[in-house]
Each structure stands twice: as structure tokens, then as C-alpha cells.
Structure 1
Amino acid sequence: MNIQIDKSFFESIRQLLLKAQTGIVKQVNHIMVQTYFEMGEQIVEQEQHGQHTTDYGSYVLTELSKHLNAEFGKGFSRRNLELIRKFYITYKNAKSVISQSLSWTHYIHLMRIDNEDERSFYQIETENNQWSVRELERQINSGLFQRLLVSKDKNKVKDLALTGQILEKPLDAIKDPYVLEFLNMSEQSTYSESQLEQALIDRLEHFLLELGKGFTFVGRQVRFTFEEEHFRVDLVFYNRLLRCFVLIDLKIGKLKHQDLGQMQMYVNYYDRYVKTEDELPTIGIILCKDKKDAIVEITLPKDNKQIFASKYLLYLPNEEELKRLLE
């Protein structure tokens, strides 16, 4: 009997099982995180019973660790119990509730953030974008929260903490600086704009993560012809949340007013000949190694909402460097 079963049938069953496995892992993670929260609550309550003894809290953790390791095996060291205790203290009155989709390791990284608004922002963004632990760590280390605040009214800090990043206008999508440490290119090394472009294409997934929400890649060295002259845009993206094209020009040196004029021409062309009536005006971003804000301000119109110049860094800045850059 020569009977064949459609391969889609096997794939359908496979996807069903994978979905079930993912669901089980998420459920186990959620139960574990919730259990740790309740453990932390009981540890704090037990410590409060012995307030009259200064070292009672330390004694509680040490004895609890011995009992739990004896019955449940390794995993309940005093250090881990300290983290569980901190978890309860951190989240008992937090703005953002404990998520069903975040693992315990996610929360370990989040608890390292002292500022409650900043911590809430990263938790919401991790949930919304399904960041892995590694991606969350990278966004924290690159100062995403602080970089987004540069272009916002200080009153918007609470909005970021309660809702995460919401794209309503072009400025919401802009960062300054952009951190490109994933390219593994040294600050001191010599490289051309084409080499920088190739490195970004080679690590496009990382670059899209750095660009932020809603970005999809359209093409590189996208050519258009106007008045019998040919022009090329280094990188073209489309943001589906803002519903507009985003043009990126790469400059390895200092930003010049001619660079802004060139980008203005690119944006004008896309607005008049490429975008459709239902799409919003094109955004142009010049990524440069160095810039002076005064040049940007005097070159562009006062009401400019389409052309932006941002620095890029090839390394993760430390806290002091980031603070200095943002100031």
C-alpha cells in the first residue's frame, strides 16, 4: 500500500508539542517566581519576630539554608535566600506586578536596578518585546532608559515607568547615542563607512534590537534617480508603528552641515515620490562618530520633526561616561 501523509500534518503536530512545552516552561517559571515571593514574605515576617536580636536575620537565613538543602538539594544557599528576601522587599509595593512571562533570572537582573521607575520600565519592555535574559542585560548595560529620556520631557519619566516605550511621534523612536558594541569594532581601529555598514548588515538582528520597536529592514544602498542624477541611501528601514520610512546615513567622522542638507534631500524625495498618502512623513537619522548640537540647530528648521543626528558608540559606556554623554 503506497500511502503518503502530508508533511504539514507532522509539522502541525510538532508545533502543537512545542507550544505545549513552552507553555509548561512558562507555567513552571511563574509558579517558581510566585513561590519565591511568598518565601521572601515569610522570611521577612520571621525576621521581624526577632527584631530585638541584631543578628537574628542572619541566623534565620543560615538555618533555613541548612534545612532546605538537606531536604531539597542544592539551590538554597544563603546567597540565594538573600535574593529571595530582596525579591519580596523590592516588589511588595512595586508599580509593576510580578509577570507570568519573566523567569527568576530576569528578576535577578531587574533587582539590581535601584531606581523604581527605571526597573519598572525594563520589566514592561522585557514583557512586551519578549527579551531573553541576555537581551535584558544588554539593554540595561547600554542605558536604554536614560538614552530615551534625553529626548523627552522630564515629566515623561513616569510614563516610561508605567507603560514602557510608546511610539507616537518620530522623536519617540530616536536615541542619542546609539550603542553598537555588538559590532566588536574597536574605537581606535580604522574603518570606512562601507565597512561600518557591512558590519551592521552582518549583525542586522542586533541592530534592529538597538533601533527599537517596530523597525523592519528594507534595503542597503537603496538607489533613486532624480534629474538624471543617482543617489543612494545607506540603510532604509520602515517603522510599522509610526507607519513611515526611516532613512539612515552613516558618517564615521564629524557631522557637517552638508550631511544634514543631503539627508533633507533624501527625506524630501521619499515624502514626495515614495511614501503613500496614508503613510506619515519620512524620518532621517544621521549616525555619526561626533557632532555638535549647535550645527544641527542652526542648519535645520526650528520646527524640524523629521531629521535627526545621533552619535554612535562602539562600546558599552560605564555609568559615568553615559551620564557625561547625556548631559
Structure 2
Amino acid sequence: MQFTELISTLDGLHRQLSQQAARQADQLLTLRNYLFGFYIVEFEQHGIDRAAYGQQLHKRLSIELQKYSIKGVSDRSLRQYRQFYLTYPQIWQTLSAKFKLPDFELIQKIDVASNANTNQDLPALNPSLLLDRLTYSHFVELLKVDNPLLRRFYEVEALKNNWKVHELNRAITTLLAERTSLSTDKAAVIARIQENQPAGLEDLIRNPYLLEFLGLQEKPEYTENDLEKAIIDNLQDFLLELGRGFCFEARQKRISFGNRHYRIDLVFYHRILKCHVLIDLKIGEFDHADAGQMTVYLNYYKANEMSAGDNPPVGIILCASKDNSLVEYATNGMANEVFVSQYLSELPDKKQLLALIERESHGL
């Protein structure tokens, strides 16, 4: 062996074992968070003094655990761990087998919960694949998907395509499952996630607004223009979805500040509230910059578009998903003029999506 070969061998060994160590550490983190969730649920159901804590349980628990210098135990994180356990009871069998946990009574309890809570209608997926190939950060993204069938789609695609966390996030926030089920060229739609190309936007709002009336036809892929055209073509139904009193005024309303120009996606006037309603469409998750942009729009309308008797304008930011705490901080002090809603597409046919998941999971 040459000296240069020795260096290369040791470097490769270091990289390989470091990766394994990091992966095992993440699996142990997943195990810890999962068990935190389990014990929290157990206390909520059977704790002797649980009534004394009530709605303050997670906050009180967070305060006490931080005294022990435990990381990742904020009020919000503890609620997330609880949700993790309730969403993935079937993971327990893999965790107990892999790490040979000694608490056999605990194992028996969770095995019973796993068999009782696993959705039998979903295509089968070996839970050990999830634990072996997804990090806890992947699970955080998956927990954002309330519908078990849609969540299974993202689980399968994340495994099949070796998605990184940001790729999984992008798939969920751009409604990949809905877009794929509506497209004839499904492989092209899925491939865009890793190519980092702009994804199509074919849905809109309520909190959540379910726009079943759009009736999008199958096309190879969907674009944002398809959505805008569908909304305008079905404007009457869209106004009914929004509620009473909305009168359509403008689409892509341009406002200018010197040589800088901005466009407001949709502008309505509410005849009951006597104010303008400005709607801004966002493809992905809500970001604090979205609130700042809407503030600019609202201030412009206050200064230039209000008539005698009008009330101040209202802004609605329509996005694929939102983090409620971020929304709270970003919109604090804005006098409730900005509302962040979530849009959903027309739900895909269940049988069609089941067939797609079965096909995509073949060979995993």
C-alpha cells in the first residue's frame, strides 16, 4: 500500500463511519421524540394528577424539562412529539426490535395501540423503511399532512426518490399529490421536485377553501396560469366560496412606486363591510415577507383607493400551508387586516390515488 492509498483509505473510512454515526444518532433522536410522545399521551389518559395541569400540561412540562438542560422540549415541540406518536403507532415494532428496549410492559401497550390505530385501508408500507431512510426532520414535514392517504403518497415518494428534507417540504407545500393525480405525465410532475423547477399551482383557498368547482381537466402538467384562468372562468362559484358580499373588481391589479411595479393577484370590494379585499396567492408555505408585502398593498389602498365612507382594506394571503406560530408573529400588530388562509385542490379520487401509491411503492 502506498502512503497516498493509506490516506485515501482512512479518509473513506472516516466518512463512512461518520455518516453511520450521524444516521444512528438521528434514529435515536426519533426514538426519543417518539417515546416522549407516548408518555405524554399515557399521562393525559391515565395520569393520577393529570386534571391539575389540563391545558397547561405541555407548557408546564417544557418549563420543568428545561431545568434539566434537555434540548428540544419547547411547548410546541412536545405537542409535535405527541402528534408524532399518534400519527405513527406502527413504528413502535421497528423501534423496539432495533434498539431492544427493556420495558416489555411498555412494548405490549404500544403494540396494541399500533394494531388498533393503523389505517387498514392504506397500501402496506414496511415501517422499518421509514425509520431507516427518513430522518426526524422528514417526519416533521409529513406530520403537516392531515390526510392519511396523501401522507402515504409522500412517504412512498420520499423513499423512492431519496428526497432530502427540503425536497419533501417542497412536494407537500406545492400539493404534489393532488397535481400528480390530475396529470397524465405523472413522472414529469414528480421529477420537478428534484430538478427544483417551478411547480404548477392549480388550487385555491378557504381555511381551508376546497375549490371543487374548478373541474380541472387532465393535462400533462399544470401552471399558475391554469389556476388563474379557472378562477376567472368560475368566478361566480369562487365568490360563493368566499362568502356573502364579495364583488369582483380586478385581477393582477398593478400598483406603482416610482419605477417599481407590483401586482395584486385579486381585488374584491365587500359591499357589507364597505372595504376592499386584497388577495395574494402564494405557491408554497407562508413566509413573514408575505405579510410585509401585503402591508405595502394595504397602505397603498388606504392612501390611493379608498373613497368616502370606505373602511380600511383587508388583506388575505392564500398559501399552500402555514405555520400558525409564524403567522402570529408575522402579523402581530397589523390590526387583523391580514388573514392567512390555506388552499387545497379538489381532492383526488381515492381509488386513483391508492392505485398510484401501489404502483409507486412497488419494489421498495
TM, length-normalised to structure 1: 0.47
TM, length-normalised to structure 2: 0.43
